[in-house]
Structure 1
Amino acid sequence: MKTFSTLVCLTLLCFRLEAQSFSSQEISALKKQARQVTIVKDKWGIPHVYAKTDAGAVFGMMYVQCEEFFEKVESTLISRLGRQAEVEGEAALYKDLWTRMYIDSSKAIGLYEQSPRWLQKLCDAYADGINFYMISHPEKKPKLIQRVQPWMVLMNNVPALAGSNIDEDEFVKFYGKDARLSLSYRPGYLAEDPREPAGSNGWALSPARTQSKNAMLLINPHSEFYGRIEIQVVSKQGLNAYGAPFLGQFNIFQGFNEYCGWMHPVSLSDAKDLYTEQVEQQDGRYFYRYNGSLRPVDSTRITLQYKKGNELLSKTFTTYRTHHGPVVSAYDKKWITLKTLDDPNIDLLAMHWQKMKARNLKEFKASMDTRVMTGSNVIYADRAGNIGYWHGNFVPQKDPALDWKRAVDGSTDATEWKGTYALDDLPHYLNPANGWLQNCNSTILYGTGTFDSTMYRTKPTYMLPDGQTPRADGAIRVLSQLQNATLDDVIAAAHDKYLAGGERHVPALLAAYAALPSPSTHLAGPIQTLRAWNYQTDTGSVATTLATLWVEKMIPLNLARLQKPYTNEERYSITNGAKLTVDFVTPEKQVETLAQVVAELEKNFGTWQVPWGQLNRFQRPAEGEPFSDDKPSWGLPATPGFMGSLNAYVSRPAPGTHRRYGATGNTFVAVVDFGKKLRGKSILTGGASTDPASPHFTDQVEGYIQGTYKDILFYKKDVLRNAEKTYHPGD
């Protein structure tokens, strides 16, 4: 075990290495690497990276990411290093503290040294690709990172604070200067924010359902716009993967190769848990009770730097942890610790790479069977005609009688995890008889369309916490009808205009209005518009406007009635529509809320008769510029996922605007047919370029809105035939 002084030396060494300038020998070596990589941008601006080795492909991928998104790639690195406060100021200190409680540079260096040589080469290429971009583009001034080190990519598995069932305010209050680690501290509640978080749709169709008699896969992540690229990476070592990596990472998270494809919708399958710790203070030290005895609470001092004006100041925190994990909050005189998967960084990075090179179901399952992925499901299809769905990946075994949504008693071994479920023991389907599978951030119990009572009886409830989203209802509706399906049929289904969320909730509002003894005549017109609605969205639909804004106002009412402090799991199930209900809302309140919607529309537009496409807009301003009602934009029929729109689109008013502009929803979407010759179609939010002067800044907007996708250029001869630009990194 490394001594404290050794860790300090390693930390200081890594920052000195990071600050070093590049020698002429290093630059020469990087140029030589670059000449071994060819980038072809096709007629849509989509990059295809060709290299002799896997490492060369990673070099090219990271160089291309920096070409379009250098600031975001660097920001990802800064966040991963826990150094945001050095750029953003003191307000980011606690984000950095959260990161450093899980991993720091000295630990990442150790992980790099422990990695197999093949993975080290990929980490080296990751750093080299970004570094070479900075060397060859001196006009791009980094905010902080002057030199990327290979170990930085191994700082890749800090659990998201927002996905850990605590609120950032709770964490800040616990470690803030005013809390003084008070054992009686009681946290506030999670913010009642109705915005829908990220999600995804994943579908797989068996050969029995398709015209080509091949398996098909829909890859449809919903996330923040412009946080990923569409790319293909090819090497002579057997790599040929296409899809969407997250910026700052070198694996294609959602995508496919010539043999199989994978989609990872967000999952609530339980892989992180909170524990309450009974803490006592004796002689200035903290202890916690476990199985009837006292154990010392471990403590670590973490010093962080932060920018204040032109100065770089520092602040030191003392952080605490038990054997369950770090202390993250306190509640009712007990400290709260967060337990999650320990140190999966090496295996997680390797798993995603091996998945990209899998050639069949056996190899794909072998990559997934490391079971180190949290928060994601798996939807799969392959050339052999197999389709599959696994709900969760890393899922610990534990007492099913306990409520794992909330903190459990940490003072006894009765609440400890008891191992990890094997891949085949997770709720899953492989080649179901109905011929299709779906997951739309929903329960697997309706993954094949009908309720799976056997799975419900035999699997513990913590494996099945997800509700049934309106998107899942819509998916079942369209997939049940698909026969002899083509790529275009699947795309059309993925853009179906039926809103299951509208049909779930609007009848209650109509009944509420009818039940009032003297309903407002001012609402007679809006009510009649909703009564005549067929629950189909359209840019010309006034009913879609009224219904969406009304249901949106039901979300904070649902959140307000949850047991406090409620968990992110419960919040997510409401904001994505799965457990959203209006049954508890009085008729008077339902009608009053509609009156608020009407009043707001009349105030902003002079009338309540506002078509959805007039309100709901797509606009792509240049990076850092605001949305504006005075600039060109496009109307969209898509709605937020809580209404049931399969091609989810979350728009919000911006400062100074009356219209709502898209921020999250469909990003990279692809439908792939796995025949002997792969075929597919895709679309990317706006376009492939981040340059407003480029034709590829908005050349995919119409296809994005209308559901007319471009052909995927997968084979090199097709890429070259449609090449717009061919070059080596640095040219």
Structure 2
Amino acid sequence: MPRWFTALFWTSIAVAAVVVGLASWDAILSSPPAADPVRPRAVKITRDEWGVPHINGKTDADVAYGIAMAQAQDDFRNLEETLAAVRGRAGAILGEGGAKLDFAGHLLDATEVGEKGYATLSPATRALVEAYAQGLNDYARQNSQEVRLQGLFPVNGRDIVVGFALRSPFFFGLDRPLSALIDGKLPPRDAGPADERGSNAFAVAGQRSADGVTRLIVNSHQPWEGPVTWWELVVHSDEGWDFAGANFPGAPYPLLGHNKHLGWANTVNRPDLIDVYKLVLDESGDRYRYDGQWRDLESRRVWLRVKFGPLVLPIPRTIYRSVHGPVIKNDLGAFAIRYAGIGDVRQVEQYYRLNKARDFAEWQAIMAMQAIPGTNFVYADAKGHIGMFYNALFPARAAGFDWKGVLPGDTSKLVWQSYLPFAGNPHVIDPPAGWVANSNNTPFLSTAPANQLKRSDFPVEMGIETYVTNRAQRYQARFAGLGNQQISRDQLLSIKFDKGYDRTGWAGRWWTEVLALDTKGRPDLGQAQDLIRRWDFTLDCNGPADGLVALAFAQHARFAYLQKPVPNARAGLEEAVALFKTHFGRLDVPLGDFQRLRRGKVDLPMCGGPDALRAVIGTPADDGRRVGNNGDGYMMLIEWAADGTVRTNSVHHFGAAASRPQSPHYADQAPLFAREAWKEVKF
């Protein structure tokens, strides 16, 4: 996904992990300048031996202030860039790419949406985001030498809310139709991400576990660097907020993880939550027809301030809007876009409430707010309940229309105004099989086959995804292989770190196509073909074909996940053979030699591959290696014993210090991550 869309998801904030061991930051941390009436904050930040901050405050707002201060110490650069996007000034710091981000913010009217929505939030939530903003301002004031964009600070709680308004629609794929329309093309018919945004999540109930322990695995896939990489934290307040997990820069609380009673993992889903309408314009192009009448097409001029070398120049653009939503004009006409959650910012409220939920009933009631318009939730708790919730804000669409195509924009019959209730979403709760899982696949593969939901029970207008990832095929096969036996901790972890590929899926089709290639006159391709013929359909670093396969089918895996026509297998094989001959002088390159985890001075082998449950996605390096930059990242293993006590382990792909190379915590967890090991979370 383009950086200017990726950065939309979250306002970025930062944290520095230069403190070693259990060094404490005891204090009433400093208050803003005298002109700012916000009171001082009673907060204590203690970092463990991995640099992970444990933030204790008298109130929840005090904790939010501490989160901002801690996070800003680790990653101020991403913070400043994404806050600039919230303020419509990304172009002034990032150039042309940032200007595109500013344009998108204007198009979605994010600032006005955030301003209007701010009043709908509870006093407690407003206090939280204001305290978080105060922490950002204090850090910027105390470390002014790091500030690159003058006048960006101070920010306020409304800016944090605007960040949520910006990120939500892009998380479920608004970038795909928007990018197409801006490029003068029709939008794609399928919903979903524009790049490989994956995740895994697993829950096993105590009644199915060999030792009676209920387990939840959090395994969200995100870029390993940048404004949407995970950052770990543990929070406690005297108001009863206790939570261990991770967030993205800009969120004033953890976005996934657990409290004492319950927890959840998230995976990206791809329901059809976006509709595109073609408007009928009059000859002037300034009015559109709607229910037999002509309406004025709203328009306003905005100025994008774009950095060109040492200069920042103003570039004018016109923003259009109709009753449907934002409008893009191109050579094909004028197209309006309407998406789930349009105009709603209560997502910032819902996540906060979920953090403090005490039992399954309360958690489900909060989920029924439907303020988080998309993303699956895999749930588990101390009472042994588990569930997979295909969470999406489904528009209440009229039957009988092609909702995947471009719709006529001249009738109100197709402009939905409400949503289906949360209770009608696909979900599996406490199935007899005792396990649930999701790996960015259709919700009709959430547990054992005998306990599955039926696709026919849900209207086609909901636009529920049908795609099945290799990862889903693998966990189905692995759980099925256990039969009716109890599931041990080691067996569950073996499933999570599985590196296999299903022969009936895209990998099997690729393999068959490669073996059918005519390699006469190309002995090097024939040698590659012979290697691949003996491949055991795993990328576990043990087979002589693993490295070649991982490189040759990478694009195939990516296009299959994006549901695009897969590239020619011969071209991928030829490219892989040429690279291996150039850089290694051989084709049977061990996967661990080819695929690396690199961070600072750390350079380690990585096993696994694209769309494996041990997911590794990478980019080519100058020495011919592939360096991981996405896939498996921050992970948690949460375990509730039969008596309700919770134990947690986690691991980050790099470390707590997100963008501070001088910190000892810049890459100290990378060796753990590479060897699939864990560290204890001191909750």
TM-score range, shorter chain: 0.7 to 0.9
CA shift digits 1:469-492 (9 cap, x unpaired)? 001111222333565445444333
Residue among 642, 649, 652 paired with 2:619: 652
Residues 674 and 102 (structure 1), Cα distance of their counterparts in 2 relative to 1, 3 Å cut = same
Cα distance in 1, alignment partners of residues 365 and 675 from structure 2: 39
Match of 1:708 in 2: 677
SS at match of 1:73: helix
Secondary structure (helix, strand or coil) at the match of 2:283 reads strand
1:304-323 matches, cutoff 5 A: 304-323=304-323
Distance in 1, Cα, partners of 2:239 & 2:394: 33
Answering whether residue 165 of structure 2 is matched by residue 157 of structure 1, we say: yes
Report Cα offsets for 1:316-353 as digits up to 9, x if no partner: 332111111010354633434344423211x2111000
Residue type of the alignment partner of 1:101? L
CA displacement at 1:467 relative to structure 2: 0.4
Tell whether 2:648 aligns with 1:680: yes
Change (3 A) 1:375 1:360: same
1:371-392 per-position Cα deviation (integer Å, ceiling 9, x unaligned): 1212311111111111111213
User: Is the contact made by 1:279 and 1:287 (CA closer than 8 Å) also made in structure 2?
Assistant: yes
RMSD, aligned CA: 3.0
Once the two structures are TM-superposed, the CA of residue 635 in structure 1 deviates from its matched residue by 0.9
Give the 5 Å matches for 1:75-114.
75-105=81-111, 108-114=114-120
Tell me if 1:328 matches 2:328.
yes
Is 1:147 matched with 2:114?
no
Aligned to 1:721: none
> Which residue pairs with 1:291 in the alignment?
291
Q: Deviation of residue 137 (structure 1)?
A: 2.9
- Cα drift, residue 27 of structure 1: 7.8
Counterpart-to-counterpart distance in 2, 1:650 and 1:555: 10
SS at match of 1:78: helix
Q: Tell me the equivalent position of 2:4.
A: none
Structure 1 Cα separation of the partners of residues 112 and 332 of structure 2: 36
Indicate the residue corresponding to 2:20 in structure 1: none
Name the SS for the 1:230 alignment partner: strand
Cα pair distance change 1:412/1:699, threshold 3 Å: same
Query: For 2:573 and 2:365, how far apart are their aligned partners in 1?
Result: 53
**Correspondent of 1:609 among 585, 588, 601:** 588
Amino acid at match of 1:379: V
C-alpha spacing 1:271/1:547, structure 2 compared with 1 (3 Å)? same
Counterpart CA distance in 1 for 2:305 and 2:110 is: 14
Give unpaired runs (5+ residues) of structure 1. Answer: 1-21, 174-184, 559-573, 622-630, 715-731
Give the Cα separation in 2 of the matches to 1:658 and 1:489. Answer: 35
Summarize the Cα distance change of 1:702–1:294 in structure 2 as closer, same or farther, 3 Å threshold.
same
Change (3 A) 1:382 1:309: same
3-state DSSP of counterpart to 1:232: strand
AA matched with 1:261: G
Distance 1:135 1:487, change over 3 A: farther
Q: 1:233 to 1:281 in 2, by over 3 A?
A: farther
Pairwise CA distance, 1:580: 7.0
Q: Tell me the SS of whatever aligns to 2:574.
A: helix
- Aligned amino acid, residue 427 of structure 1: P
Higher-Rg structure is: 1
Q: 2:137 aligns with which of 119, 131, 136?
A: 131
Change (3 A) 1:386 1:94: same
Is residue 44–residue 55 contact of structure 2 (8 Å, CA) maintained in 1? yes
Tell me how far 1:272 sits from its aligned partner.
2.0
1:164–1:272 Cα contact (<8 Å) kept: yes
From 510, 527, 530, the equivalent of 1:528 is: 530
Q: Deviations over 1:649-696 (max 9, x none)?
A: 111113x33111111112210011123210121111122224434432
Please tell me whether residue 356 in structure 1 is matched to residue 363 in structure 2: no
Return the alpha-carbon distance in structure 1 between the equivalents of residues 424 and 592 of structure 2.
46
Question: Which string of whole-angstrom CA distances, capped at 9 and with x for unpartnered residues, describes residues 606-631 of structure 1?
Answer: 2222111111111013xxxxxxxxx6
Q: How does 1:590-601 map to 2 (within 5 A)?
A: 590-591=569-570, 593-601=572-580
Match of residue 264, structure 1, among 266, 275, 287: 266
Aligned 8 A contact 1:277 1:337 in 2: no
Whether the 8 Å CA contact 2:636–2:648 is kept in 1: the answer is yes
Are positions 1:240 and 2:242 aligned together?
yes
Query: Where do 1:217-616 residues align within 5 Å?
Result: 217-226=216-225, 227-282=229-284, 286-330=286-330, 332-345=332-345, 347-417=346-416, 419-450=418-449, 455-461=454-460, 462-481=462-481, 483-500=485-502, 504-506=506-508, 509-510=511-512, 513=515, 516=518, 520-554=522-556, 574-575=560-561, 579=563, 590-591=569-570, 593-616=572-595
Q: Distance in 2 between matches of 1:287 and 1:42?
A: 61
Aligned equivalents of 1:470 and 1:266: distance in 2? 15
The Cα of 1:199 is off from its aligned counterpart by 1.5
TM-score, normalization by structure 2:
0.86
CA distance in 1: counterparts of 2:516 and 2:308, whole angstroms: 59
Cα distance in 2 for residues equivalent to 1:388 and 1:100: 38
Please say if residues 288 and 296 of structure 1, whose CA atoms lie closer than 8 Å, have aligned partners that are also in contact: yes
Do the aligned partners of residues 259 and 545 (structure 1) sit closer, same or farther apart at CA in structure 2, a change above 3 Å counting? Answer: same
Which one is further off, 688-697 or 219-228? 688-697
Q: Is the 8 A contact 2:277 2:407 kept in 1?
A: yes
- Structure number having the greater helix percentage: 1
- Structure 1 residue 151: deviation in Å? 1.2
Q: 1:409 to 1:668 in 2, by over 3 A?
A: same
Gaps of 5+ in 2: 1-30
Partner SS for 2:231 = coil
Task: Report the CA distance shift for 1:104/1:377 in structure 2 as closer, same or farther (over 3 A).
Answer: closer
- How far has the Cα of 1:270 moved from its partner? 2.2
- In 2, distance between residues paired with 1:23 and 1:425? 47
Matched letter for residue 163 of structure 1? G
TM-score for the superposition, normalised by structure 1: 0.81
Identity %: 24
Residue 138 of structure 1, CA deviation: 3.7
Task: Give the 3 Å change call, closer, same or farther, for CA 169–369 of structure 1 in structure 2.
Answer: closer
1: CA distance between counterparts of 2:521 and 2:569?
12
Partner of 1:662: 628
CA contact (8 A) 1:269 1:391 kept: no
Q: Which residue of 50, 69, 81 maps to 2:56? A: 50
Which position in structure 2 is the counterpart of 1:197? 196
- Is contact 1:490-1:671 (8 Å) kept? no
Check whether the contact 1:649–1:666 (CA below 8 A) recurs between aligned residues. Answer: yes
